[in-house]
Amino acid sequence: MTAILTPVRGRQLVYRINPVAKLLASMIITIGILLSIDWVSASVALAFELVLCLWSGLSARRLLARTWPILVAAVFAGVTILLYGSPSGATYARFLFVHITDGSIEFSIATTLRVIAVALPAVVLFVTIDPTELGDGLAQLLKLPSRFVIGGLAGFRLVGLFLDDWRSLELARRARGVADSGKLRRLASMAFSLLVLSIRRGSKLATAMEARGFGGPAKRTWARTSTFGWPGAGLVIIAFLVAAVSIAAAVMAGSWNFLGSG
Amino acid sequence: MLLLGASGAGKSTLIAALAGVLGDDEGGEELGDLRVGGHPARQARGRVGLVLQDPDSQVILARVGDDVAFGCENLGIPRDEIWPRVREALDAVGLEVPLDYPTSQLSGGQKQRLALAGVLAMRPGLLLLDEPTANLDPAGVSEVRDAVARVLERGRSTLVVIEHRVDVWIDVVDRVIVLDSDRGIIGDGTPDEVLHRNGSELAATGVWVPGIVPPHSRRDRRRGEVMLRTDDLVIGRHKDAPLRDRFNLELRAGGALAITGPNGSGKSTLGLTIAGLLPPVAGRVLASGLAGGLGDEPIGWRSSELVSRVGSVFQDPEHQFLAGTVREELAVGPRVLKLGRLETSARIDEIAGRLRLAALLDANPFTLSGGEKRRLSVATALITRPPLLVLDEPTFGQDSRTWAELVALLAELLDSGTAVAAVSHDVAFVDAVADQTLALGEREVVK
């Protein structure tokens, strides 16, 4: 079977940080960067992040494998703004709707850097999150209802089975002689079959969970403690510092522009 | 205690009621009072442990230890008490993997032992097993049976098991009860008494009684010309992950090839590749005997061309169902072949009669029992009269009656010149049908 929910493990410090702290840290950095559209705050944050990547628990190769889609997206966003962004300052080129100016160049660099600066910590921190630990953290630290958290976790495990089901459905349709034409109709019918199969799997899983006392009257205990601890607190403090320093740098450089208002 | 009876006799319903998971929303009537250890069954959750048939839908969490701890957490057991219980339960079922081992890496037999450990950690007084070994290969079956036997030796729990293969459990149980849908309990006593008294009656309803092999005709093993052969075939689910290599097989008209081996050894992949559903990773499948004007390689045929040449029966019949009724399901193949209305209904009546589906023609395929689904999936493959039939675990979890019907049907097809390739770990089936056996070893990914 295809496993989607394999445990994530490693020895580095980053694996000891509570997933909830990682969630908070990437939210703090994101908010800090999104407050202003300028290239100073984004590049300062990005510089910090790149240094912090040394402790991400990922090799340079895995880091690149996980982040290249972001790099591509960021460059595309930058080029789009370069060509079509609102014009201001000296004009360098003009062709139909394309209008490259001082303003659009600056805006384009700022956008590219910001896309990377926002996405990088999110991706890097989430790679090392173990779904089960995230569930523990959400339930124990953020006090989300256990039914919701456990249900989500158990349901997520079924996704791997659905991928296998989908492949079998595809082969079975070829075997039954109906795979030649009407691709759209076939996809719709496969989606329907998958829905039927997934409801059946889901109800079997629910029975198995119920038989193990899930949803019973007893107050649920947790076999694993989820504590924020120093590594988690440390990460959140670092995230605050990154956000604060990059904003301060932008304000001092005079490029700070709140939500693009300047 | 072993609970026996024909399918539809109410065994699973009884077990679900005992486990307290019989929903109020499933309709039907409830009469009388069911008490487990002095409490109504629904409040006795946790005192009763239930293990079901399908290994995949009982794994709840991603790591072995967490999964076993899940039941304890729900019962509100304090944390310091949970982990000793988890270790004890894993020890009892003999599952020797680290606590953080990924559950997705376990074999079917290991998953069932994991489910058993999960209920044992809850320390139930009553252990309910609903066909826990039906989906396992022979190694998995004995793994689970031995684990249960070990648990019983510790003397803490009562066991109730449903199974239609009596020989698996006969040495473990000390009481056998036979249920009948009309007459209620028709047998109750020690295994010897019950099998002696009800043995032949049970065998007739589809229960596998030790010593009674379902009657089936022997075939006259004559073989015709080559239908399909493989040329240094390398198989795999993906191009970059070859499973095994260099198969040089030959399938002849009227010949039956059995593909055996443990779970994960690539049996199903080989079946799918021969059937023209998966492309070979390297090498070729050559079916000049079937091509009839098309290219030699089945993977190059169109789906509508494949259907009259190779009939495929999947391991899970539900994957193959396309229509809302059994009749429409059977009509799919004939419609692809553009057969006339008369011919189509004649073929449907014939095959439905042969496979005991005639009374079910208006039923929804998904609502059929396991045996009926299997018979329907075989019928959908046969209705286009393909000269080659590829079956994946056709007798998986079937009662002895369906088993005998399938064996008889295949023997008939073989004698009329159909070639058969069957993936199976059912020894009796292979003995009865195959005249060529290919045994695949442990999984080894080929470089």
Sign of the CA dihedral with B344 first, then B349, B354, and B358 last: positive
Asked if the Cβ–Cβ distance from A208 to B58 is below 8 Å, we say yes
Query: Are A155 and A234 part of one and the same domain?
Result: no
In a domain, A6, yes or no: no
Burial class of B337 by CB neighbour count within 10 A (0 to 12, 13 to 18, 19+): middle
Chain B stretch 7-36, residues whose beta carbon is closer than 8 A to a beta carbon of chain A: 16, 19, 21
Helix (H) or strand (E) segment spanning residue B256: strand B256-260
Query: Are A96 and A156 part of one and the same domain?
Result: no
In a domain, A80, yes or no: yes
Per the structure, the count of domains in chain A is 2
Asked whether the predicted pLDDT for residue B23 surpasses 60, the reply is: no
Domains of chain B, CATH where assigned:
2-205 (3.40.50.300), 226-439 (3.40.50.300)
Query: Are A39 and A165 part of one and the same domain?
Result: no
Query: Are A124 and A95 part of one and the same domain?
Result: yes
Highest mean pLDDT among A5-14, A221-230, A237-246, B7-16: A237-246
Which residues lie across from B419 on neighbouring strands? B388
Q: What is the model's pLDDT at position B310? A: 93
Asked if the Cβ–Cβ distance from A224 to B46 is below 8 Å, we say no
Mean pLDDT of B199-218: 76
Mean pLDDT of A218-243: 88
Contacts of A215 in chain B (CB under 8 A): 74
Tens digit of each residue's pLDDT (9 = 90 or more) over A78-134:
888 888 877 777 778 777 777 788 888 888 888 898 889 888 888 888 888 888 888
Per the structure, the complete domain to which residue A246 belongs is given by: 17-130+227-253
In a domain, A136, yes or no: no
Mean pLDDT of B167-179: 85
Query: Are A148 and A43 part of one and the same domain?
Result: no
Confidence of residue B390 (pLDDT cuts 50, 70, 90): very high
Query: Are A42 and A156 part of one and the same domain?
Result: no
Helix (H) or strand (E) segment spanning residue A236: helix A229-253
- Torsion region of B103: left, alpha or beta (phi above 0 gives left; psi -120 to 50 gives alpha): alpha
Query: Are A233 and A205 part of one and the same domain?
Result: no
In a domain, A261, yes or no: no
Query: Are A22 and A108 part of one and the same domain?
Result: yes
Asked if the Cβ–Cβ distance from B71 to A180 is below 8 Å, we say no
Tens digit of each residue's pLDDT (9 = 90 or more) over A29-84:
999 888 877 888 888 999 988 888 888 777 888 888 888 888 899 999 888 888 88
Confidence of residue B25 (pLDDT cuts 50, 70, 90): very low
**Cα-based distances in Å from B92 to A79, B52, B121, B317:** 63, 19, 10, 35
Query: Are A119 and A24 part of one and the same domain?
Result: yes
Query: Are A207 and A235 part of one and the same domain?
Result: no
Chain B stretch 36-55, residues whose beta carbon is closer than 8 A to a beta carbon of chain A: 43, 45-46, 48-50, 52, 54
Mean pLDDT of B93-116: 86
Confidence of residue B67 (pLDDT cuts 50, 70, 90): very high
In a domain, A11, yes or no: no
Helices marked H in B43-181: 64-75, 79-92, 108-120, 138-153, 166-169
ipTM for the predicted complex? 0.81
One DSSP character per residue, B294-349 reads: S-S-GGGS-HHHHTTTEEEE-SSGGGG--SSSHHHHHHHHHHHTT--HHHHHHHHH
> What is the Cα–Cα distance from A166 to B187, expressed in whole angstroms?
44
Number of Cβ pairs < 8 A linking chain A and chain B: 176
Asked if the Cβ–Cβ distance from B63 to A196 is below 8 Å, we say no
Confidence of residue B211 (pLDDT cuts 50, 70, 90): confident
Query: Are A126 and A21 part of one and the same domain?
Result: yes
Tens digit of each residue's pLDDT (9 = 90 or more) over B303-361:
889 999 999 999 888 889 988 899 999 999 999 999 989 999 999 999 999 888 999 99
Asked whether the predicted pLDDT for residue B265 surpasses 60, the reply is: yes
> What is the Cα–Cα distance from B308 to B303, expressed in whole angstroms?
9
Mean pLDDT of A192-200: 88
Average pLDDT over chain B reads 83
Asked if the Cβ–Cβ distance from B71 to A212 is below 8 Å, we say yes
Tens digit of each residue's pLDDT (9 = 90 or more) over B176-194:
888 877 777 877 888 888 8
In a domain, A86, yes or no: yes
User: Structure pTM?
Assistant: 0.77
Asked whether the predicted pLDDT for residue A4 surpasses 80, the reply is: no
Query: Are A51 and A120 part of one and the same domain?
Result: yes
User: Beta strand B282-286 with B226-235: parallel, antiparallel or unpaired?
Assistant: antiparallel
